[in-house]
A = this chain, B = another copy of it.
Amino acid sequence: MLRLGPLAAAGRLLPAGPRLEPPRPAGGRVSFLRCWPPRLPGPVGDGRPLSQQVRAAADSAGGGGGRGLALKTPKGTRDHPPAHVALRDHLLAAVVACFKRHGAAAIDTPVLELRLQTPPLRAPVLPIPSFQWLSSCSERAVVFAMATMQVPFARYLAMNKITNMKRYHVAKVYRRDSPATTRGRYREFYQCDFDIAGQCDPMIPDAECLKIVHEILSDLQLGDFLIKVNDRRILNGVFAICGVPESKFITTCSTVDKLDKVPWEEVKSEMVEEKGLSPEAADYIGEYVQLHGGLDLVERLLQDPKLSQNKLAKEGLGDMKLLFEYLTLFGITGQISFDLSLARGLDYYTGVIFEAVLLQQENDHVEEPVSVGSVAGGGRYDGLVGMFDPKGRKVPCVGVSIGIERIFSILEQRVKAEMLYKKDPKLLKQLQYCEDTGIPLAAIVGEQELTDGVVKLRDVARREEVDIPREKLVDEIRRRLEP
């Protein structure tokens, strides 16, 4: 019997989630600044060699034979055994090859960034998803690990007075909110960013970013996908004509962003009860943000008597039309959806925004369907460099992040396979083990199959077997395991 590699076995070697968590206030996103108060001890260590210190601590903590407490990875992080690294390197190579094909050069920035900490600004935390790791290193600065590489990129451009650059950056980044490791959301994870900085003719770099997402998701053969596109100016225009005051644009935006996870009724009630919009305004917004379509929808909204009167929305719709023209030339509109519910979490987007999602198929061959959310996202951020520049000089930017870690989780699930460590196991026992552990497929190669040039493929749950010509085996397994 043949099984498909050591990935599942490797997966089982991974650490269980560490249990040492900070106390956490109930509900919502959590800022580490608040929930990780500085409880640093004063004097530390006792000067003895580590071996003695660790042993002493293990003795005092675990009583007799207690497990060493340091045998964990920090919450939301994980080790990657060789099979993981090999798969990840394979993914990264494909992504980087695409970035290079599109003419980008790599840069690298420190994993930490400095942040201002001067009164009245003690530490600007929220709008940029950063992750506070380090205690303050002086009274005027706080060091942050970034959750997005667009911020270090903007700082890099401003610092070096670069007004034109196409760069990619592959690195570990760190997110602030609670990890959900079963859904592939880790606190420490790899990200692959591609960004274009500089003044260009409208929508050309934006279209290139979408083309890149399309190329990468196609190259990686992840199955069907959809790239949702919207524009912050269109959303803001919708809010304006629906009577939302400008001060509530951002918070309304973040409520709209939930439409891909919860039904409209819940979104509406949050708008009314938490965000203080009138039910009429919410309903009016609902009419727009539930729309999605293609160029036809753009055209229709350009004719919308109210929306077309709003300057921002009109600009956004005009650019969206132009974008679809480029995407048509690229031949990729089949996977593009103009979706007014797409809002994206980041505050600093100023124009086009987009997000790629994999389309999950019902498939009972997969033991536990993985809900992976978006696998790529990005947008235009024309103001971020100017925030760093002492004179506020702007450099328009648009870029995309490839969620390599999510993609990794999907592929890991898909190629999960295992070896049985028995010298001479009976076939029935092996099949029983497959049923017990929920392994979906077993490939059986006996003497008859060798003679016939086939492999017997067994659907474990249904107990159905079928002979597959060897040259078609890989395709057949791939087809059956598709999500």
The reply to whether A140 and B69 contact each other, CB–CB distance below 8 Å, is yes
Task: Say if the beta carbon of A198 comes within 8 Å of chain B.
Answer: no
The reply to whether B135 and A135 contact each other, CB–CB distance below 8 Å, is yes
Task: Say if the beta carbon of A450 comes within 8 Å of chain B.
Answer: no
The reply to whether B54 and A390 contact each other, CB–CB distance below 8 Å, is no
Question: What residues on B are CB-neighbors of A127 within 8 Å?
Answer: 49-51, 53
Shortest beta-carbon distance from A175 to chain B in Å: 13
Task: Say if the beta carbon of A85 comes within 8 Å of chain B.
Answer: yes
Question: What residues on B are CB-neighbors of A66 within 8 Å?
Answer: 390
The reply to whether B50 and A390 contact each other, CB–CB distance below 8 Å, is no
- Which interface class (under 10, 10 to 19, 20 to 34, 35 or more) fits A? 35 or more
Question: What residues on B are CB-neighbors of A82 within 8 Å?
Answer: 105-107, 167
Task: Say if the beta carbon of A143 comes within 8 Å of chain B.
Answer: yes
Interface of chain A residues 60 through 80 with chain B (CB within 8 A): 60-62, 65-75, 77-80
Question: What residues on B are CB-neighbors of A114 within 8 Å?
Answer: 18, 20, 69-70, 72-74
Shortest beta-carbon distance from A389 to chain B in Å: 7
The reply to whether B110 and A50 contact each other, CB–CB distance below 8 Å, is no
Question: What residues on B are CB-neighbors of A20 within 8 Å?
Answer: 114, 137-138, 140-141
> Can you list, as one digit per residue, whether each of A169-204 has a CB less than 8 Å from chain B (1) or not (0)?
000100000000000000010000000000000000
Task: Say if the beta carbon of A94 comes within 8 Å of chain B.
Answer: no
The reply to whether B61 and A123 contact each other, CB–CB distance below 8 Å, is no
A69 vs B139: C-alpha distance when bound (angstroms): 13
Chain B residue with the shortest CB-CB distance to A171: B172
With A36-B136, A136-B40 known as contacts, the answer to whether A50 contacts B348 (CB < 8 A) is yes
Question: What residues on B are CB-neighbors of A78 within 8 Å?
Answer: 110
Chain B residue with the shortest CB-CB distance to A69: B116
A80 vs B34: C-alpha distance when bound (angstroms): 33
Q: Which of A152-160, A299-307, A473-481 contacts B (4 or more CB under 8 A)?
A: A152-160
With A57-B116, A140-B69, A155-B71 known as contacts, the answer to whether A188 contacts B40 (CB < 8 A) is no
Question: What residues on B are CB-neighbors of A22 within 8 Å?
Answer: 137-138
Shortest beta-carbon distance from A58 to chain B in Å: 7
With A69-B140, A73-B114 known as contacts, the answer to whether A79 contacts B123 (CB < 8 A) is no
Chain B residue with the shortest CB-CB distance to A67: B390
Q: List 7 A-B contacts (CB under 8 A).
A: A39-B135, A44-B123, A46-B120, A57-B118, A57-B121, A71-B388, A110-B188
- Excluding A44-B122, A71-B159, 13 further A-B contacts by CB distance (< 8 Å) are A31-B44, A33-B44, A40-B135, A43-B122, A50-B387, A51-B383, A54-B116, A68-B388, A69-B141, A74-B110, A74-B112, A79-B160, A111-B188
